[in-house]
A = this chain, B = another copy of it.
Amino acid sequence: MRRALDEARQAAAEGEVPVGAIVVCGDRVIARAHNQTERLNDPTAHAEMLAITAATGAMGAKYLPECRLYVTVEPCVMCAGAIGWAQLGAVVYGAPDAKRGFTVYAPQAFHPRTEVRGGVMEAECAAEMTAFFRAKR
């Protein structure tokens, strides 16, 4: 999650909502990404989406049951759907997102075998978001 947080901070430095994600397979980080919706002018360019696209490219496979996704904020509906299609083995997220998070809006989006854990380094992940939006106001 520390690596994902580094990505989130990179996003903030670029004026993007600070969400970072990495995909790990065994002990290897096979993809890392941060939110780029502003830079790419694309509302689909969330950290998780970019990381999944990169990871499937790196693995040469559409499904990633051996991989774990770490993301600093609870995935939204779109990203949860993508995680479902990619059949990730595990999803670990930091801060919850009561307004957009999948647990409220699409609780069944993941593959049934995907393990889910939230609240990992929650305070640090949430602090990035809070600082970003406070500075925007």
Contacts and interface: CB of A to CB of B under 8 A. Distances in A.
Contact of A78 (B41, B43, B85): B85
A107 to B, nearest CB: 9
A57 B41 contact: yes
A57 B45 CA distance: 12
Nearest to A80: B77
A57 B37 CA distance: 11
B81 A62 contact: no
Contacts of A77: 77-78, 80-81, 84, 106, 109
A43 B84 CA distance: 9
A41 to B, nearest CB: 6
Q: How large is the interface on A (under 10, 10 to 19, 20 to 34, 35 or more residues)?
A: 20 to 34
Given A105-B108, A106-B105, A62 B43 contact: yes
B44 A53 contact: yes
B82 A43 contact: yes
A10 B60 CA distance: 24
Interface of A: 37, 41-44, 49, 52-53, 56-57, 60-63, 76-82, 84-86, 105-106, 108-109
16 contacts: A37-B62, A41-B60, A42-B52, A43-B52, A43-B63, A44-B82, A44-B85, A44-B86, A77-B80, A77-B109, A78-B78, A78-B80, A78-B81, A79-B81, A81-B81, A81-B106
